[in-house]
Structure 1
Amino acid sequence: MKLCTRSSVLVPVLSITMLASGTVSAAQDNADFEWPRLLVIGAAGTSSSSFAFTNGWAPVLQKQVGSVVRVVPEDNDSMRYRRLTERRDITISSVSSADMRFQIEGIDGYAATRPAAQRVLWHGNDTPWGFVTSGDSKLQSLEDLKKGGYRVAKGVFAPAMVTAVADALPAFIGLSDADAKKALSYVPVSSYAENCRSVVEGKADVAYCSPVSSVLSEMEGAPGGIRWLPMNQDNQEGWAQYLKHRPMVTPSKMEMGVSSARGVEGSTSNFVYAVPADTDEEFAYQMAKWFHQSYDTYKGTHPLAARMSLEQFRLYLDRSPLPVHEGTVKYLREIGAWSEQDDAWNEQAKNKMDQWVQARQTAMTEAAKAGVKMDFQNQAFLDILNQHTRNLEGFKSRL
């Protein structure tokens, strides 16, 4: 298992010098474009890095284009998805690539949500993640969990986080489902901040967190501090099993965030800004253009805002399986940052997403006609869903 760091990612053939420049002009200024009066951007809760760095660039956008830009904290990932795709009271959503996979494929808590095609608008950040414990914990490694009697925080607000601790973590340390039930107990938590704080408040022994979140700085300053349990690179079989459950992440060393995490082996999960597939192409084009050309203006508003450069976006696109909005593609093509090869994989990604949406819609129609309750905890509904989706290929990083 090769450990990925940002310095080791292969640079694409496209000229990075050109991509990184914030001065590349588009083919047309499109000065006549009328920005929406109100732009609502959905992000995770107020203690999340997603909310923090979005609040960095949003005021800059408001000042430059004249729209009223509001950043709305919505800690429940399923609700944020519904607000983007059903209620439509969110224009753009900050979402992890991992969670978007759950949304598309109807995994766990998303099984009964209305399927909707989405598109990537721009890259948010490459967020490091790991498993944290209190500074005075008896745990010295993740493998120690196999001794039994330990409590793991389970963030029920986000299906992807549930999978990380309930499925991927036991698989990484070599516990079967039956052994995991005996060795571990799970502590349900209703928000990201509660999830992370649980280890310093004595409610849980391990939590799955990102070291760049503001709540981790608070925790690092708590009596006893915190420690991170490495996801050892040498555990190749563990990583192979982990990625079966979390196929959108990549192994990496944590290089950003609180000092206690730096240099510790963990994983990287990319956050993107997503929009519904039917979002106006010209709006998406203008947003992509703004993200690129105004980068030098907003990159200093938050450390993670610096990860929104076109260079980082381009590196992400070289491994992303998620379709990109045509408005963004139009802009990237104009500045020479999009190739025919990109067209090929993007069309495949769009087709794959359409297949998932159609299959899930068919399953929900069948369930409705049969009077089967559409609920992610109703096995009868899950059986119908599986019948229509079992032959579809899932989304995973193009490593």
Structure 2
Amino acid sequence: MKKFTIRQAAGSALSIAAAIAIGTSSMAYASDYEMPRLMVIGTPGTSSGSFASTNGWAPIFQQQMGSNTRVVPEDSETQRYRRLTERRDIAISSVSAAEVRFQVQGIGGYAGTQPVAQRILWHHNDTPWGFVVSGDSDIKTMDDLKKGGVRVAQGVFSPPMVTAVTQALPAYLGLSEEEAKEVLRFVPASSYVENCRSVVEGKTDVAYCAPISSVLSEMEGSPGGIRWLPMDLDNSEAWSGFLTHRPMVVPVEIGMGVSTARGVDGLASNFLYGVPADVDADFAYSMAKWFHESYDDYKGTHALATRMSLEVFRDYLNRSPLPVHEGTVRYLKEVGAWTEEDDVWNNEAIAKMDRWIEARTAAMEEARENRIQASHENEEFLEILNRHTEGLEGFRSRL
């Protein structure tokens, strides 16, 4: 995969620094829009980085824009979705890209929820991930994992982590399920710390970990240290296999976390600020403008706030499968961070989301007409849902 920079996205002379100097017409446009008196942003619970980092920029936004801003923690993902799309008592939601896929496609507990089209307003934060080995390991590359007898930590406490190592990893390596059983030996770990630490304790050879975790700092300082296995960003075939099982992660060069991980090709799990598709375009435009122009004012309020820069957002858009709100697109075009090619994939993403929303809406209507409860626990409804959505292409990161 070819690496894509903002300068390429901007076309020619425009850079992000130059983009800050926006024309007077857009400044006049922004001043014409009056922000809502009350701004409510929904996030995961109080212990989450999303909640903490949103509380970092919210007071600055309130002071600069005049809106009474409230950050509401909502641990239940389905409830936060309903508050955003049905009750409309929150204006913006901090949500993972993976969760948006579940919401749009009606996966799991979202099967019986009201289908509502959504759009990306801005990038919130991302968590880098990769495969780590001990510093003195003879495993140097991802291909070395295929040599046989390799012990892989399996974090049984987390279904996504189980999927990452038992399905996505073998697919990245080009191994069938049978071949994976022959060359990889999965070692259960009951906690995240145990999962990662196992490589420096000699219990496993490789583990799937996030380099921003404190336990990785401890491991980096252990005798022999640690190394990260590069997941070549240009290996589209390998990444296509990985994304078959973890479709919303994004291949990236790791830029944060422990020093041994920085500059290594890995992947990221992204959180976004999302809104319903029918949100006023002027509101989305003004929010995008504020997120960009006030970045220097709020970037120091929380470590994750640094991931809200236009540059990070632009890099994410090179891989994102989710549609961006028209108001945000308008602003990105003004600052030279959006191209005609972006219009193509964004329109395709909008059309794909519309197909999912239409199919699920038809399933809900059929269930209602036949007095069948729309619930993820009702097999009769799930049969209707599967029939209406059969053949639809799911969302996955673009390579």
Output the TM-score relative to the length of structure 2: 0.75
CA deviation after TM superposition for structure 1 residue 283, in Å: 1.6
Give the alignment of 1:90-101 within 5 angstroms.
90-101=90-101
Check if 1:355 corresponds to 2:324: no
C-alpha distance in 2 between matches for 1:246 and 1:154 = 17
1:22 aligns with 20
Change (3 A) 1:300 1:342: same
Indicate how the Cα distance of structure 1 residues 131 and 79 shifts in structure 2: closer, same or farther if over 3 A, else same: farther
Residues 153 and 208, structure 1, Cα contact 8 Å, conserved in 2: no
Aligned to 2:38: 38
% identical aligned pairs: 52
Asked if residue 53 in structure 1 is aligned to residue 59 in structure 2, the reply is: no
1:176 deviation in Å? 6.0
Q: Shift of residue 11 of structure 1?
A: 4.5
- Say if 1:172 and 1:319 are closer, same or farther in 2 by CA, change over 3 A: closer
Aligned to 2:11: 13
Count of aligned pairs: 384
Whole-Å separation in 2 of the counterparts to 1:98 and 1:7: 24
Conserved 8 A contact 1:39-1:67: yes
Q: Secondary structure at the match of 2:269?
A: strand
* In 2, Cα distance between equivalents of 1:20 and 1:302: 26
How far apart are the structure 2 equivalents of 1:37 and 1:396? 37
- 1:281 paired with 2:258, answer no
The residue number in structure 2 matching 1:121 is 121
DSSP 3-state at the match of 1:262:
coil
Quote the offset at 1:76 in angstroms. Answer: 4.0
Deviates most, 169-178 or 38-47: 169-178
Look up the match of 2:396: 396
1:344-383 equivalences under 5 Å are 344-370=344-370, 372-376=372-376, 379-383=379-383
What's the CA shift string for 1:328-353, capped at 9, x where partnerless?
A: 23333444444444444333322221
What SS does the aligned partner of 2:320 have? Answer: coil
Q: CA deviation at 1:254?
A: 2.5
Contact kept? 1:227, 1:261, Cα under 8 Å: no
Larger Rg: 2
Secondary structure, counterpart of 2:257 in structure 1: coil
Q: Does structure 1 conserve the Cα–Cα contact (< 8 Å) formed by 2:120 and 2:273?
A: yes
Aligned pair partner of 2:155 in 145, 149, 152:
152
Distance 2:264 2:192 in 1: 17
CA displacement 1:24-52 (0-9 Å, x = unmatched): 25252543533223322223344444334
Q: Is the contact between residue 151 and residue 187 of structure 1 (CA under 8 Å) also seen in structure 2?
A: yes
Question: Any stretches of 5+ residues in structure 1 without a counterpart?
Answer: 189-194
Match in the other structure for 2:214: 217
- CA–CA separation in structure 2 for the residues paired with 1:165 and 1:15: 43
Q: Give the TM-score normalised by structure 1.
A: 0.75
SS of the residue aligned with 1:58?
helix
Give the Cα separation in 2 of the matches to 1:388 and 1:224.
54
Deviation at 1:369, TM superposition (A): 4.2
Going from structure 1 to structure 2, the CA distance change for 1:398 and 1:66 (only over 3 Å counts) comes to same
| C-alpha displacement of 1:58 | 1.9
Matched residue, 1:191: none
The answer to whether the 8 A contact 2:321-2:398 is kept is: yes
For residues 393 and 334 of structure 1, do their structure 2 counterparts lie closer, same or farther at Cα, with a shift above 3 Å needed? same
* Paired AA for residue 22 in structure 1: I
The DSSP-based 3-state class of the residue aligned with 2:255 is coil
C-alpha distance in 2 between matches for 1:71 and 1:165: 35
SS of residue matched to 1:69: strand
Q: Which residue of 2 aligns with 1:192?
A: none
Letter in 2 for 1:152: G
| Secondary structure, aligned partner of 1:28 | helix
Give 1:199 deviation, angstroms. 3.8
In 2, Cα distance between equivalents of 1:61 and 1:300: 14
Listed one character per residue, the Cα deviations across residues 254-298 of structure 1 (whole Å, up to 9, x for unaligned) are 230234643554312333211011212222121111112212222
- More displaced stretch, 223-232 vs 329-338: 223-232
Structure 2 CA distance for partners of 1:371 and 1:132, relative to 1, 3 Å:
farther
Q: CA RMSD in A?
A: 4.3
Which residue identity is paired with 1:58?
A
Structure 2: unaligned runs, 5 residues or longer: none
- Residue aligning to 1:86: 86
* 2:35 counterpart SS class: coil
* Residue 380 of structure 1: how far off its partner (Å): 4.4
